[in-house]
Structure 1
Amino acid sequence: MFRRNATTIRVVFKGRKYISGSPLNTTHIIYRRYHPPTQLQYLAWKNTRSPITMQLSRRLHTSPVLSGEEIVSAPTFPDSVSSGDVKFNKKEGDAVAMDEVIMEIETDKTALPVMCPGHGVLTKFFVKQGQAVKSGQKLFSVNVTGVAPAKAAAPAAAPAAPAPAAAAPAAAARPAAAAPRATAPPAVVKSKAAKAKPPALGALRIADPTKAISGTRTEHPVPMNKMRKRIAERLKNAQNTTAMLTTFNECDMSKLMAFRKEHLKTFTQKYGVKLSFMSPFIKAAANALMDQPVVNAVIVDEDIVYRDYVDISVAVATPRGLVVPILRNVDSMDYPKIELAVNELAKKARDGQLSPADMQGGTFTLSNGGVFGSLLSMPIINLPQSAILGMHAIIQRPVAVSGKIEIRPMMYLALTYDHRLIDGREAVLFLRKIKSGVEDPTSILAGI
C-alpha cells in the first residue's frame, strides 16, 4: 500500500512504514527489510519499463518508523547442521540497537551471529543459555521503538578538594612539611578460640580454570562446547574408519625463502597481502593431486569416488577450536589468488564469521603445525578425505649437498593417507611431487 504527497512516499509493508526523502514514480518501490540473523539487506523492486539503478538506490535513504514486538527466530541451517547451542551476549531488559549481535548460535562448524532487527528493548528470551536450537525456532523478542539507545555518559569528574585557607606569606614560602606517619594502635591479644579460622579451600576465589592453574587442588568440570564435541567425534571416526599410514620426507626451503625475499615487497604492494609459505605449498599440493588423482579420491561404501576438482582445506586454530575452511578450485588459482583467499578465510575464522558452507567439502587438507614450532607429527585424516599433509617448523640443519656438509633451512613433511585406497607407491610419489614443487617454486609457475 502506498501513500504519497508532494515530498514523500510512504510504503507500508507487513504493517511497517518506510518513508523516503524524495518523490519517486509510484512504480518504484524501495524498502528496507529485516532478515535476522544476517546483516540488514536493501531490496529493490522494479517493473519492466522502469529499472532502478544502483545510483538511485544510493540516493534514496529510507528510515523505518517501527513499533511493536519483533520476534526473531533461528536461521535455516545447512543440511550438514542439525542444531546449535545458543550463547547470550545480552540480557532481558537491555536497550539494543539495530544489527547488534544479541546471541550466537554455536554449531559443530562455526558460530552464527543473530542480529537485532531494530532499535528498542530486548524483552524476552524464548530459549535458555546453552540450549540446543533448531532451524526456525523462536529465539527472542524485541520491543522495537525506532530509538537508538543513548550512549553511556562519561563518568563525572571527582569534585576538587577544597582549597586551604590562605596562609601567612612566610608559611607559603616554605615547602609543606611531610604529613606525620600514622601509627597503628597496639594489637589486642585475643584468645585462641577467638582467632579467625582460615577460609575453607573450596571458598577461595579461583581464577578461570581454563586459563590458569591456581593451585587449590580442586577440579572444575567444564562442559564441552558443540564444536569440540564434533572435533572429537570426527577424529575418532577417522581412526576407526580408515587404515591410516604416514610417510615422511624433508624439504630444503632455501630457494623458496630466497624467492619470497626477492618478491615480497613487490607482491605486497601490488596485491595488498604478504607472500607467505602457504601459497607455494597449496599450489604444489594441487599440482600433486592432479598428478595422482587417487589421493584426491575417497571411498564411499563399496565405491571409489574420483573427484574432478581440487578443493583444499587449510587448518586454522581459533579460540573455539580447529576449523578447516576450504579453498575451491585451487588447480586454477595462482599465488596471488591463493594468498588473497587464505587471508580472507583466516580473518573470517579469527572473527568467528565462517559459515558452514566455508567448511563443507574439501578433497585434501594442509595442516601447518610449524607456526607453533612443531618439529614432526603424524596428522589425522580429515574425513571424508583420504590424505592430509603436515607442515612443520623450518630448522637450520646440517645436510649433505654435493658431497659437502652445508647448513640449510629444512622442513619435515608428513603425509598421512588412507592405505585402503592409496598404496605406498602413490603416496611417496605424491609427497615427492610436493617436495620438488616447493624446493623449486619457479617450476610451479612454469607449470612443470
Structure 2
Amino acid sequence: MGDSISEGTIVQWMKAEGDSVAVDDVLVVLETDKVSVDVRSPEAGTLAAQLAGEGDTVQVSDKPPPPPPKAAPKEPKSEPEAPPKSEAPKEEAPKQTPAKKEPKQEPVKAEPAAPALAPGQKVSLPPIQSAPTTDRTETRIKMTRMRQRIAERLKSAQNTAAMLTTFQEMDMSRLMALRGKYKEEFEKKHGVKLGFMSAFVKASADALREIPAVNGYIDEAAKEIVHRNYVDISVAVASPQGLVVPVLRNVEDMSFADIEKAIADYAVKAKAGKLALEDMAGGSFTISNGGVFGSLMGTPIINPPQSAILGMHATKMRAVVVDGQVVARPMMYLALTYDHRMVDGREAVTFLKSVANKIEDPSRLLLDL
C-alpha cells in the first residue's frame, strides 16, 4: 500500500464466500486516505471466507486469525431432583390500618385584579409561534476515509504553517486571443483541447525556478530549508470522493501539449476512481482552479509539506483603466497562499507578479522572460 498507508476501509466485496477466483480477479475494494484500491487475487482458487465486512477498517499488517479449536462434546447432565415440598404458611389475619385524616380546606383567595393601564401605555405580549411549514429532519452521512484525511491535513496545515495570502489581478485578453486563434489547430495536431491550465502551469514552473523559496519546504526534523531543483506541480482535480491532487512531474521539461494531455488523463482517472497512490505522491507546488465553479476570489490552503499554492479564479469582464481610458477587459484574480516561515513577502509578491506578467504577455513564456 505504500509507506504512508497503514489502514483502509472495506468499501465492497467483489467476490462472495464460495465463489471461484481467477488470477488477478478483484476480490475487494479498499478505501485508503488517498484513493480507492482494487485488491486483486495473487492466485486462483475459491474464496473460503470474508474475515471482515463492508465498512470495517483493516490494518495493512492484519493476518487471518487461526481457526478456533474444536470443542469436545459435552456429556448431558442429569436433571436435579425436585426439593421436597414444604408446608404452606398459615394465613395471618389482615391488620387494620388507621383511618387517614382529611386535610383542612384552606379558604380560596381571590387573584388581585390587574392594574389599570395609563392612557397611551403599551402592553408587551409574547410572540406568536407559528408551526414550521418545512421538513426539519436531518440526514447523517458517514465521512469517508478520504474526507477524514482531507480534513486532518487541512487543519494540520492551519495549525503548523504561518499562512498568508496575497492577491494580484490580471488581464486575460492576450491569452484568450492566443487560445481562440490556435485551439482548433492545436486539437487537430495533439488530439487534446487547448485550455488555460497549461499556460498557468508553465508560467508557474518558470516563476518557481526564478524564486526557489516558493518551490521549497521546511524539514522540521533537521530544522533545514530544502530547495528543490525540479518542479513537480500538483493540479487539484475534483473526484466523486473529494478533491484530489495528482502530480505533473518535471514540468520544466514539458510542453503545452504534454501538460494538457496529462491533466486530461488525470481527470478521466479521477472521475472513474482509478487514480493510483503514485499519481498523487510528492509535488512541490499546487495550482487550484476554483474559477471553473465560478469563484471570484478566495484564499486556498497549503497542501503540506509544500510551502505555497496558487489559486485561479473566474474571468469576469470589468472596467479597467488602460492608457488613460476606461475600457472593459476580461480580468482574473490570482491568489498565492504561502508559508511565511520560509517565504518572505517580497519573494511571494515577486513570484505572483512574474506569473501575471507571463499570462498577460504569453510571448514571455517562449522567450523565458
Please classify the TM superposition score into its range, dividing by the shorter chain length: 0.7 to 0.9
Which residue number in structure 2 is paired with residue 391 of structure 1?
312
Q: Which moved more, 1:276-285 or 1:79-88?
A: 79-88
Distance of 1:355 and 1:277 partners within structure 2: 26
Of 3, 10, 29, the residue aligned with 1:86 is 10
Give 3-state SS (helix, strand or coil) of 2:332's partner. Answer: strand
Of 255, 265, 269, the residue aligned with 2:174 is 255
Distance of 2:271 and 2:25 partners within structure 1: 19
* Structure 1 position 446, deviation (Å): 2.4
Of 282, 285, 302, the residue aligned with 1:381 is 302
Distance of 1:138 and 1:114 partners within structure 2: 15
* Structure 1 position 114, deviation (Å): 2.4
Which residue number in structure 1 is paired with residue 36 of structure 2?
111
* Structure 1 position 88, deviation (Å): 1.1
Which residue number in structure 2 is paired with residue 329 of structure 1?
250
Which residue number in structure 2 is paired with residue 350 of structure 1?
271
**Letter aligned with residue 232 of structure 1:** A
Per-residue CA distance 1:157-202 (angstroms, 9 max, x = gap): xxxxxxxxxxxxxxxxxxxxxxxxxxxxxxxxxxxxxxxxxxxxxx
**Letter aligned with residue 54 of structure 2:** Q
Distance of 2:243 and 2:205 partners within structure 1: 22
Question: Percent identity among equivalent residues?
Answer: 53
Higher relative contact order (CA 8 A, sep 6+): 2
RMSD: 2.2
**Letter aligned with residue 296 of structure 1:** N
Which residue number in structure 2 is paired with residue 277 of structure 1?
196
Distance of 1:96 and 1:254 partners within structure 2: 61
Which residue number in structure 1 is paired with residue 88 of structure 2?
none
8 Å Cα contact 1:244/1:419 also seen in 2: yes
Q: Which moved more, 1:343-352 or 1:91-100?
A: 91-100
Asked if 1:131 is matched to 2:56, the reply is yes
In the alignment of these two chains, the number of paired residues is 298
Distance 1:221 1:332, change over 3 A: same
Distance of 1:391 and 1:293 partners within structure 2: 21
Q: Which has the higher strand share?
A: 1
Which residue number in structure 2 is paired with residue 443 of structure 1?
364
* Structure 1 position 89, deviation (Å): 4.6
Structure 2: gaps (5+ residues): 65-133
Task: Kindly report which structure 2 residues correspond to 1:17-416, keeping only aligned pairs within 5 A, or say none.
Answer: 77-90=1-14, 92=16, 101-115=26-40, 124-135=49-60, 137=62, 216-301=135-220, 302-416=223-337
8 Å Cα contact 1:126/1:138 also seen in 2: no
Per-residue CA distance 1:203-236 (angstroms, 9 max, x = gap): xxxxxxxxxxxx6423333221111111011001
TM-score by length of 2: 0.76
Distance of 2:190 and 2:327 partners within structure 1: 35
Give 3-state SS (helix, strand or coil) of 1:412's partner. Answer: strand
Which residue number in structure 2 is paired with residue 25 of structure 1?
none
* Structure 1 position 84, deviation (Å): 1.1
Distance of 2:137 and 2:13 partners within structure 1: 29
* Structure 1 position 135, deviation (Å): 3.1
Distance of 1:362 and 1:299 partners within structure 2: 14
Give 3-state SS (helix, strand or coil) of 2:49's partner. Answer: strand
Per-residue CA distance 1:105-141 (angstroms, 9 max, x = gap): 11111111124678987553121112222336469xx
Distance of 1:332 and 1:91 partners within structure 2: 44
Distance of 2:62 and 2:246 partners within structure 1: 27
8 Å Cα contact 2:12/2:29 also seen in 1: yes
8 Å Cα contact 2:21/2:47 also seen in 1: no
* Structure 1 position 328, deviation (Å): 0.6
